[in-house]
Amino acid sequence: MGVTAPAPRPAVQVVAHRGSSEDVPEHTLAAYRKAIDDGADALECDVRLTADGRLVCVHDRRVNRTSNGRGLVSTLELADLAALDFGSWKAGGIHAEDPEAPDWDRTSVLTLDRLLQLVVDAGRPVQLAVETKHPTRYAGLVERRLVELLDRFGLARPVGDTPSPVRVMSFSQLSLRRMRQLAPRLPAVFLMERVPLRFRDGALPKDVRIAGPSIEIVRAHPRFVARLHRAGHRVHVWTVDRPEDVELCMTLGVDAIITNRPGAVLRQISG
Ligand code: G3P
Ligand code: CA
């Protein structure tokens, strides 16, 4: 009896948005470990600078939503953040006394260093898409710290034709410009939640080759994807969780699907 080869995976990349964050608290080590186990091609994370200049993976300006603490990330030091619990909120509170508590309860803040180490140790190629948040506040400090850290892992300066395992994403053209000056070979993704008039024909900011439109843009203007492709750009769409949106992205031939549920998306597109 012949062995049936598994169906080849479509070329689209599946990116775990904040980790496998539908099931596990976002931006925790557990969420990224699950994303790797789920088979994600890449991990997405947001980075913010602490008061003592460390890059941590936190989406909001404040820690209130995703931890048991309060305050702005930018006014807290890493030690303050490390004392908080970034896991228990997901299941509605701390389960310290509960023997069935999920193993991500009492999870500390995730530093970008730790996430990079996870990527390096993944045992298979896993890419990382790092989003700089509100970077104009610090006069370039976020970008400088990011490049310093990537340099420590040998990831800021890809050589030859080997695809870079790291790319930088931002809604801020200023941040992408700074990144190009500091690490010109690192791919940049220009995120959009609306399409600025001058980019409607598929053009992107100088030296940016990847567009990151929201799924809302793609639903409203599906032909925008073809315009971007015709202009020679790749298209990474966020945040694509509904099966019908996954279908739309596949039909339009987008290059990456950024999703909170990478396992489910992979099953859908491989099925
Ligand atoms: O992947 C891009 C997407 O993450 C941008 O929106 O708010 O989820 O960071 P947000
Ligand atoms: Ca993000």
What is the per-residue pLDDT for 163? 81
- In the chain (271 residues long), the average pLDDT of successive 10-residue segments reads 58 97 95 97 97 96 96 96 92 58 77 97 97 78 96 93 92 94 96 94 95 98 97 97 98 98 97 81
Structure token pair of residue 212: 């990151």
Asked if residue 46 has its Cβ within 6 Å of ligand 1, the reply is: yes
Angle (CA) 38 90 261, round 5°: 25
**Ligand 1: which of 13, 191, 258 to mutate, most ligand atoms within 8 Å of CB?**
191
Does 13-62+110-270 carry CATH code 3.90.226.10?
Answer: no
Residue 212, classed as helix, strand or coil, is strand
- 144-157 pLDDT, tens digit per residue, is 999 999 999 999 99
User: CB-based contacts of 55: which residues, under 8 Å, 6+ apart?
Assistant: 47, 48, 49, 111, 112, 113, 142, 145, 146, 149
Asked if residue 238 has its Cβ within 6 Å of ligand 1, the reply is: yes
CA of residue 5 to ligand 2 center, whole Å: 36
Among the bound ligands, name the one nearest to the CA of residue 45: 2
Residue 4 preceded by cis peptide, ω within 30: no
Is residue 193 within 8 A of residue 216, CB to CB? The reply is: yes
Q: Which atom of ligand 1 is nearest to the CA of 15?
A: 1
Whether residue 17 lies in the annotated active site:
yes
